[in-house]
A and B are shown apart, each in its own frame.
Chain A
Amino acid sequence: MSLAAEAFVSQIAAAEPWPENATLYQPLKEDQILLSDSASSLAVQTFLRMCGLPVLVSCRANAEYMSPSGKVPFIHVGNQVVSELGPIVQFTKAKGHALSDGLDDVQRAEMKAYMELVNNMLLTAELYIQWCDDYTATEISRPRYSNPYSWPLNHVLAYQKQWEIRRKMNAIGWSGKNLEQVYEDVSQCCQALSQRLGTQPYFFNKQPTELDALVFGHLFTILTTQLTSDELAEKVKSYSNLLSFCHRIEQTYFKEHEREGQFGSSRHSKSSLP
């Protein structure tokens, strides 16, 4: 969206309160969704729960194409559609719900920096493992991504997505890395997050912020998703304060709502944290 359109949207957003029938769209949970999309979707759901805003999760096969920016998840609120965590945070802020208001400027700078760290390292590593590692791409990513479509469309779409992601990796310089280096980067990123978290309950002490939602989304998904090898999950598990952080957020925001379908077991993901 251009800047003028964004300003217009937030003006309209400020006018109405949060409706009851807000919906979040993501790809099919059982068969289609991949690790990176699942992580982003969980991050948005966690953020909305932290704000206390109700949202229905709806799984559609063509969620990616419905989204205004091509990325999932996106939310449909009133008559607006907003995708990706960053714009959604701004949108909810325009409606009057914000988690990071209590932070001063330096802390806000730190929060944004850490969110970029997660996006830059964790998300890119997830995409790399899914699409640039041949074994994972063949066994898991391509079959799942094109699951709702029939032949020959499924092949075309899967290879197109893979080519697109590989081009992006090439542009940012990740194509020269091998899998070991990527795991090493994930480990360093987790170490940085672990050191920043320390013994606090949330990243900015007492109050959860969008950074907590983002980190939880990614780490929980990594821990509960079965890939071709468990090495990624092992890297995360080696930091105990991150594990307890994930447990705590799961207990606080997800268990109390008792939604069965939310974390039901599937071929691809396990139901809860080990």
Chain B
Amino acid sequence: MAEPMELQLLCWGGDWDLPSVHTDSLVVLAYAKFAGAKLAVKSVDWTWRTITASVPQLYYEGSTVTEPTQILNFLRKQSFNADYELTAKQGADTMAYIALLEEKLLPALLHTFWVDAENYANLTRPWFTSHSPFPLNFFVPGRQASLALSRILLTKAESPLLNITEVEGKIYSEAKECLNLLSHRLGNFRFFFGDTPTSLDAFVFGHIAPLIKAPLPSGQLQKHLNQLDNLCQFCNTILKNYFTDATTEKRLDCSPTATHDPVDANLQKLTQLVNKESNLIEKMDDNLRSSPQHRPHRHEAKPSAMASERSST
């Protein structure tokens, strides 16, 4: 390969089986995996950058890029392009669906994690507090929460009487509708545009993965999402195929049935045991065959039985 790229990414750390708990960081990480870009990931946890930096941030040879769309554009210019095979119409569809995510799903996600009192007090604030250095742990979650609230109110509520209770029902119903639309669009395919993942898959993954994996105390949106099997499957596929560690990654790369891994592992062991046993039986058989009282057609039956055994596993 060419000389190693010094692409450094600043993002929030990971938890709950995810490489990062922050939506925008997940989008960039997923896209980098899909496009094959090697990123040196530096997490901002426990550093002063939790409050000073806007996350995610990409460093490359002195230039800094923020915002997921800008970072993706930058990576494309560096010829890490996961959208290479898309037609023009599919590229237009990508833009439209990303706008849909941002308008309909994002307010409800922000509300679930940052505004909903139970979730915020029991999950989000403790997590971010424990991942920020002293004395920032007093400020970081509060600041993020107020940013989230103001974003929801300014975009969805009627000004100037900005009241969160009026918009709660509306944003959740819009988010559920958005999830249904995404599920319809995904259908039975592995990814949104066929068999290879693209930037749209990265965006969808970044938005729904925290919602699926986080242990939320009160999560009506999470319950709704869990009923949409194909989206959960989509998320798990990406996690298993692109975000497991190096040893398992090699094994997963060549097999398309990667989702059935633990089952396959057991099956493989069993197959090996059965094969060993059948080898022993064959040897015994040879010895027995040399004796004259056994009929010859038993010799034919045995290999076909073993062959059918091997093909079924």
| Residues A193 and B102 in contact in the complex (CB < 8 Å), given A109-B182, A113-B181, A168-B154 | no
Instruction: For the complex, give the distance between the alpha carbons of A110 and B89 in Å.
Output: 11
Q: Is the CB of B170 within 8 A of A3?
A: yes
Contact between chains at A105 and B184 (CB < 8 Å):
yes
> Which of A108, A188, A198 is the one whose CB lies under 8 Å from B95?
A188
Cα–Cα distance between A108 and B178 once the two chains are bound (Å): 11
Those of A180-201 within 8 Å (CB) of chain B: 188-189, 191-193, 195-196, 198
* Nearest-neighbor residue (CB-CB) of A114 within chain B: B96
How far apart sit A114 and B93, CA to CA, in the bound complex (Å)? 8
Which of B131-139, B155-163, B234-242 makes up part of the contact surface? B155-163
Distance (Å) between the CB of A42 and the closest chain B CB? 21
The 8 Å CB contact of B181, one of A108, A167, A172, A193, is A108
- In the assembly, what is the distance between CA of A121 and CA of B159, in Å? 21
Structural contact, A116 and B99, CB atoms closer than 8 A: yes
Contact of A171 with B150 at beta-carbon distance under 8 Å, contacts A109-B181, A192-B92 already known: yes
Instruction: Say yes or no: B158 contacts A113, CB within 8 Å.
Output: no
Complex Cα–Cα for A87 and B238 (A): 37
A3 nearest in chain B by CB position: B169
Q: Are A196 and B104 in contact (CB under 8 A)?
A: no
Determine if A120 is an interface residue (Cβ-Cβ < 8 Å): yes
- A70 and B95 contact, CB distance less than 8 A: no
Minimum distance in angstroms from A215 CB to a CB of chain B: 12
Would A109 and B92 count as touching, CB distance under 8 A?
no
- A117 CB-CB contact with B under 8 Å: yes
Q: Complex: how many Å from CA A172 to CA B150?
A: 10
The 8 Å CB contact of B155, one of A168, A192, A193, A196, is: A168
CA distance A128 to B223 in the complex (A): 37
Q: What residue in chain A is nearest B149 (Cβ atoms)?
A: A171
**Number of interface residues, chain B, beta carbon within 8 A:** 32
Interface residues on A, range: 20 to 34
Q: B95, B102, B177, B185: which contacts A189 (Cβ < 8 A)?
A: B95
A119 contacts B by Cβ under 8 Å: yes
Interface residue ranges of B48-79 to A (CB < 8 Å): 67
Is A15 at the interface (CB under 8 A from chain B)?
no
B67 in contact with A117 (CB, 8 Å): no
Q: Is A112 on the interface with B (CB-CB < 8 A)?
A: yes
B36 close to A (CB within 8 Å): no
Q: Which B residues lie within 8 Å of A196 (CB)?
A: 89, 92-93, 96
Smallest Cβ distance from B19 to chain A, in angstroms? 23
Q: Could you tell me which residues of chain B, from 77 to 101, have a CB within 8 Å of some CB in chain A?
A: 88-89, 91-93, 95-97, 99-100
Cβ contact within 8 Å between B187 and A106: yes
**B173 lies within 8 A of chain A by Cβ:** yes
Verify B159–A164 contact, CB threshold 8 A.
yes
| B154 pairs with A171, CB closer than 8 A | yes
Find B97's partner among A113, A164, A168 (CB 8 Å cutoff). Answer: A113
CA–CA, A165 and B272, complex, Å: 68
Within the complex, the shortest CB–CB distance from B191 to chain A, in Å, comes to: 15
Collect the chain B residues with CB atoms within 8 Å of residue A173's CB.
67
User: Would you give 21 A-B contacts (Cβ < 8 Å), ordered by A?
Assistant: A70-B158, A70-B159, A106-B185, A108-B184, A109-B181, A112-B100, A112-B177, A113-B93, A113-B100, A114-B96, A117-B95, A117-B96, A119-B99, A119-B103, A168-B154, A171-B150, A172-B155, A192-B92, A192-B95, A196-B92, A198-B89
Other than A171-B154, A195-B91, A196-B92, give 13 A-B pairs with Cβ distance below 8 A. Answer: A2-B169, A3-B170, A70-B158, A70-B159, A110-B93, A116-B99, A116-B103, A164-B160, A193-B92, A195-B88, A195-B89, A196-B96, A198-B89
